[in-house]
Amino acid sequence: MPKMIFVNLPVTDLAKSMAFYKSIGFENNPQFTDETAACMVWSEAINVMLLTHDKWRQFTTRPITPPGTSEVMIALSCDGRAQVDAMNDSAAKNGGTADVNPAQDLGFMYNRNLADPDGHIFEAMWMDMSAMPQG
């Protein structure tokens, strides 16, 4: 079995969250989806598990991070600057928040940060490794 990452996120409205993630480029894996959880696929190795708060509490007794706070920012690589912009624009139109931090354009790397409907932060980013400064 290849190594995979499953990012687990507590969400308040599963259907709304599923629609949001689909709008920014994820696909649903119905094999791991029910009324309490949804598996949203970014790539063959990266998945986001959206869990209702009750489902989340089956895995941990630690408190859910309050709205307006951040615990982690998950960077998602994109095929180009246009995809970074499209993901951020789609976030704003589908219940999320675009540009929660200032955009960064370093020439070889471009990123914009967005938040899902529950405030989980993602960094849509593109990088041209051949243009990266050496040293």
**Domain ranges for the chain:** 5-63+71-131
Question: CATH top-level class for 5-63+71-131?
Answer: alpha beta
The pTM (predicted TM-score) of the whole model is 0.90
Helix (H) or strand (E) segment spanning residue 88: helix 81-93
Q: For 65, which DSSP code?
A: P
Those residues whose C-beta lies under 8 Å from the C-beta of residue 92, and which sit 6 or more positions away, are 98, 114
Beta strands in 3-118 (DSSP E): 5-11, 27-29, 37-41, 46-52, 73-77, 97-98, 104-105, 109-115
pLDDT at residue number 71: 83
For residue 1, is pLDDT > 80?
A: no
- Render pLDDT for 61-120 as a digit per residue (tens, 0 to 9): 999 988 888 888 999 999 999 999 999 999 999 999 999 999 999 999 999 999 999 999
pLDDT at residue number 67: 84
Give the model's confidence band at 2: pLDDT under 50 very low, under 70 low, under 90 confident, else very high.
confident
- Render pLDDT for 32-61 as a digit per residue (tens, 0 to 9): 999 999 999 999 999 999 999 999 999 999
pLDDT at residue number 24: 97
Region 2-27: mean pLDDT is 96
> Amino acid identity, residue 84?
V
